[in-house]
Structures are given as C-alpha cells and as structure tokens.
Structure 1
Amino acid sequence: MDFRHIRLHTDGRLATVQLHRPAARNAMSVALMRELTAAAHALAERTDIDAVLLTGDATCFTAGADLKDTAGWADESLSLVERREIAGVGWRLCKAWEELPQVTIVAIEGYAVGGGLAIAVACDWRVMADNAFVSLPEIALGIPLTWGAIPRLTALVGPSRAKRLTILCERLGAADALAMGLVDDVTPPGGALAKAAALAQQVLAMPAAAVRMSKATVNAVATAGHLAAGHMGLDQLMLAGASVESKAARAAALKRR
C-alpha cells in the first residue's frame, strides 16, 4: 500500500506509523486522515502484527486538523451528504484506530493539538516528552470537540477535567497530563518513541491471543456508551460551524497562521 502523508514500516510483530507532513507541522489534512484510516484497516487484518506505534517527528506529533484543507464540511456548494462525509472523516479515523485488535501506543514529542489529541485518546497508551504539551482549541475556533473525543477524554480524566480541557482550551504540560491520567508515561525530550517501543516489547512478550482478548473486553466495557454520546458529532460540527461567530473565529485563526 502506497502512502504520501504517512510512513508505515514493520519490524517483526511491531508496526510503526509516522505522520509525515513536516512542512505543515504534520497537520491532519483530509488526505492524511484517510491514509491513517486505511492503514488502521490494513493493520487490523494482520495476524502477524501485535503492537502498533503511532508517532510524528522530533518537532511535534501534529498541529491538529488542517483548517484550510478540512473546511469542506462548511462548503455550501457541496451537497449535504458530501459535507457530512467530509465532517465524518475524523470520526471514522479515530474509530478505526480505537478498534484495532493490536495494542496501540502513541509517542508525542513537541505537541499534540486538537485532532492530534483526539486520535491519541482513541489509542491504548500515550507516551509524552516532558517538554511537550497538548491542547484542544476547537471551542476557541467556534466549533465543538468532535471525532468521538469527548467520551474517550471523559473516560480517561473524568467529567470535570474533560470540561476544563475542552471548554477553556488550555495548554496542558506533560507533568499535569500524567498526573490526571491523560498520558501513561513521560520521558526526557526525544525519548517518547523509544519508551513507546519498550512498552510494545513488553506487550510482545505476552501471549498474543490473550492480549487481544483482554483489550477487546476492556474496550467493550469502557466504550459501551461512546457511540450514543458521539455519533452526532459531525452534525454538531456543521451546525456550530455555520454560525457567524464560528466563521469569524476560524478566519482569525487562519490569518494568524
């Protein structure tokens, strides 16, 4: 399978997927998200792969959704069905990664913003460099946090912290992220991928079938209500994004960038 915006390689039973749009700070374009989704679907069928690492580069994991490229959901020249399909790309991406039977570990250097954190919380574990940060700027852009991220975030950190992260759009450093359970390990700068790989090796030392069964059972319990809470996120995105204040906020953000 050929990819332009991600790199996928395997080493024995371990696969590594790297976001690769360095000139755009690994911003998640529609094309990149579709490739990540396709990679997840392909890996899900691999019985010879038992752990998957997801990473960016030494500068950042990702700056989040590419506002210029993902704005098709607001393009009134498209049909409503076409706009909903574009609005649902992130939802399908995170769902595909959450449903991988293999253990998934995200390595974060620099920062994981918006959609970057959304896909990170869809995975099993997160490793973060101690000088990195995460943030969810969606509401400051006049749109709700979607992609199914709110149920996953709430399950990890609880409702009060999930509201604070989502509504106040604050940057959260690695130490605070670790303390609240948003990430699982913190490393010195440059060490996130190595630590994620070490965790993967611990997974690979366990009987593979039992690992997959156990992950599936935990996910079944933890995500039982997620579909009901998040399936209308794409319509919330389109509704809120059509407001005057939302359009103004996004235009200002694009001008700043």
Structure 2
Amino acid sequence: MSKSVTITRSGHIAIVKFDRKERLNAFDHALVAEMIEAGKSFQDDFETRAIIVTGADNAFSSGADLKARDYTKDMSPVEARHMRSAGVRLCRIWEDLPQVTIAAINGLAVGAGVAFAIALDWRVMDNDAYFFVPEVRHGWNIQWGTMPRLVSLVGPARAKQASLLCERMTAAEALDWGLVDRVSEPQQAVAGAMKLAERIAEFDPVPVRMIKEAINAAAGANFRAASFGDADQNILSGFYADMRAKKETEGS
C-alpha cells in the first residue's frame, strides 16, 4: 500500500503492519498520513470482519518522531492547525471502523503509540513489552484524543498515574489495569490477536458491527467534547517549552 504500511489478508481477517524501519517505528507526518489512508480503506470493506494492527518486529511504536522535520513552520496558521490535528483524525478513523480492531503490541508503545493502540477495540501485548507516556516530562500536553479513552479504560486516578508519573508500565500491570486484554509470550502478540480475530470472523458480521457501534456510542458519547482542543493545547504547550528553553539558554 505504501512504503511503511502493508496489508495482508486471510479470509475475513486483515493484518496491517506499519514499519518505518527506523527510530523504533516512531510516527512522523508521513506515517500518520499512511495509516489514515489504511484506515479509510476499510470503511466500505464488507468482507473484512477483524483487523489486526501491529508495528515493526522490534517495537509497536516509540511515539512521535521528535527528530522529524516540523512541516508546520512553512504553513499558514490554519494549515498548521490542520496538520497538528492529524493524530486526532487517525485515531478517530480507526476507532470508528465497523470491523473489530486489535492491536498486537511488541517491544514498546510510547506516547503516540499508546494513543493509537487504545483507539482500537482490543490490545494483545507481549509479556516483555511496556507502555510509557512521557509527554509531561517534555512539557507537553497529551493529545490525539487520548485522555477520554484512557479515563474510560482505567478510571481517573489511574489515568493520572499513567499520564503524570512518567513511569514504564509492564504488560502485567497493563493487563491488571484493563489497558490490555491479553498478554502473550514474547513475539506472540500477533498470534494471540489472531485467536481473537478468528473467533470474531466466525460470527455474522451484522450483529457484531451493531453491538460494537452501540458500545462505542455509550462509552464514547463525550469523547470529542473532552478532547476537541488537545491539538490547540499542543501548540500552546510547545510555545511554553520554547520559552523555557530560551530562558535556560539565556541564563547559562
């Protein structure tokens, strides 16, 4: 499909693999765009019943690529705002797909990798993998519509721990908290996800799609209201980070 995203199919199951082959599979603007297009390709797909999404062989994703060129510097304010909202669109497109979506997580899922994974229906994680949400350490807010999804999964107190303490979360802890649904042996997350996908593929897709839509509507009724401004907040937090860096430079 693209240089970083491949889609393979087996009956009613699709496996989407994204692999930048660098920087532990970090999301840059190109990868986000490619995954948006991959998600869109399933919107009118009436044959696929379950979709497994996985990253490169050594990592699900190390998050946003901090060394990627900031294309927004050359854009108008309205274009820059649209670009900074790409992660929100990515997660929303995948969250709204009619098929059951399953993240197969190996290695690590950091920042944006966590945000994308929890936008899917289920998560299967290798027992030697971990989650890590480091944004506050860098002086950033958490965006991509992450916070309402995180609170829905683990509750407000644990959402604060996950997003404010900047601590790695093991697969066992993530399972205990309800952030993942299955834990697998190392390098077996895709196989574990396949078991769930095969079970779903056995069922009539119409009631499956209706039930998924009903659950998403009930659980996520306020998701957009709770996160509509997180891309704008990212611009603001970036401004403060730049100001702090400038003051530290001037003071040294």
Asked if these proteins are the same fold (TM beyond 0.5), I'd say: yes
Secondary structure of the residue aligned to 2:41 is helix
In structure 2, the partner of 1:4 is 3
Determine which of 137, 160, 176 is the counterpart of 1:163. 160
In structure 2, the partner of 1:237 is 234
The reply to whether residue 116 of structure 1 matches residue 149 of structure 2 is no
In structure 2, the partner of 1:201 is 198
The reply to whether residue 152 of structure 1 matches residue 149 of structure 2 is yes
Deviations 1:114-144 (A, max 9, x none): 1011010000000001010001111111110
Determine which of 94, 97, 100 is the counterpart of 2:97. 100
Matched AA of 1:22: K
Please list every run of 5 or more consecutive structure 1 residues that lacks an aligned counterpart in the other structure. Answer: 250-257
What's the C-alpha RMSD, in Å, of the aligned pairs? 1.5
CA distance in 1 between counterparts of 2:56 and 2:4 reads 13
Matched AA of 1:88: S
CA distance in 1 between counterparts of 2:105 and 2:215 reads 24
Secondary structure of the residue aligned to 2:30 is helix
CA distance in 2 between counterparts of 1:201 and 1:246 reads 52
Secondary structure of the residue aligned to 1:186 is strand
TM-score (norm 1): 0.92
- 8 Å Cα contact 1:142/1:246 also seen in 2: no
User: Which runs of structure 1 show a deviation greater than 2 angstroms over 4 or more consecutive aligned residues?
Assistant: 68-73, 244-249
TM-score (norm 2): 0.94
- 8 Å Cα contact 1:70/1:86 also seen in 2: no
Structure 1 residue 245 displacement after superposition: 5.8
CA distance in 2 between counterparts of 1:136 and 1:35 reads 23
Deviations 1:187-245 (A, max 9, x none): 11011100001100010111111100000000000000000001111100001111146
In structure 2, the partner of 1:34 is 33
Determine which of 207, 210, 223 is the counterpart of 1:210. 207
In structure 2, the partner of 1:125 is 122
CA distance in 1 between counterparts of 2:15 and 2:53 reads 6
The count of corresponding residues between Structure 1 and Structure 2 is 246
Question: Structure 1 83/126 Cα, relative in aligned 2: closer, same or farther at 3 Å?
Answer: same
Please list every run of 5 or more consecutive structure 2 residues that lacks an aligned counterpart in the other structure. Answer: 247-252
Determine which of 216, 219, 222 is the counterpart of 2:216. 219
